[in-house]
Structure 1
Amino acid sequence: MPLILPLLLAVVLFCLGVYGVLARRNAITMLMSFELMLNAVNLNLVAFDAWRLDGLATGQTLAVFVITLAAAEIGLGLAIVLLLFRGHGHVDADAARDLLEKGADR
């Protein structure tokens, strides 16, 4: 399989993720968009590792680290979203600005 096909798929996934982060205000949708971007990075890592054929599996190893980072990010992000929903009844990222302390806003 040529290298361009997984790279094009990764570009599409990354662009969808960027659009989801910039255009949407729902915190759950933003977390899913971050996951799309991380999956695009993983796809690039594995595709370049398969293309390079070095035997060290460096790209696959880095992809495992990125998956671990994504799992930690989702765990922390979902905890914040659940706390936001429990306290305010919504998960709107723009409306979360009232979480600032009174002395912290400038």
Structure 2
Amino acid sequence: MIPVYYYFILSALLFFIGVFGFVTRRNLIAMLISIELVLNSVDLNFAVFNRILYPGQLEGMFFTLFSIGVSAAETAVALAIIINVYRNTHSDQVNSIENMKM
């Protein structure tokens, strides 16, 4: 059996990699992937806390499934926006959005 704190270490690692990727990247797709890493770390925490606090119940798993559904919808909307930005500016960089303000 894997100790529980390994899951917390993995979740923290995913979270900080996602935050670092979001802050340092200027590519819209890379930023979206970084946001997904942060959301996956939250899902992992939901599942682990459910396992620790309520071992016979499934509330944390339902929160995890709901969060996965919300992140899938968020990804679909974000990709639609990124495709629209690319069609208008022929670039997938963040500063190409600033050019659309005119």
Pairwise same-fold verdict (TM > 0.5): yes
Give percent identity, aligned residues only.
Answer: 33
Q: Distance in 1 between matches of 2:84 and 2:36?
A: 20
Partner of 1:52: 53
Letter in 2 for 1:34: I
Partner of 2:95: 94
1:29-48 matched pairs, under 5 angstroms:
29-48=30-49
Report the Cα offset of residue 54 of structure 1: 4.1
| TM-score, normalising length: structure 1 | 0.89
1:1-106 matched pairs, under 5 angstroms:
1-100=2-101, 102=102
8 Å Cα contact 2:15-2:38 kept in structure 1: yes
Report the Cα offset of residue 2 of structure 1: 2.0
| TM-score, normalising length: structure 2 | 0.93
Which region of structure 1 is more displaced relative to structure 2, 64-73 or 48-57? Answer: 48-57
Letter in 1 for 2:53: R
Q: Distance in 1 between matches of 2:96 and 2:85?
A: 10
Q: Give 1 or 2: higher helix fraction.
A: 2
Unpaired runs of 5+ residues, structure 2, are none
Report the Cα offset of residue 99 of structure 1: 1.8
- Count residues in correspondence: 101
Secondary structure in 2 matching 1:56: coil
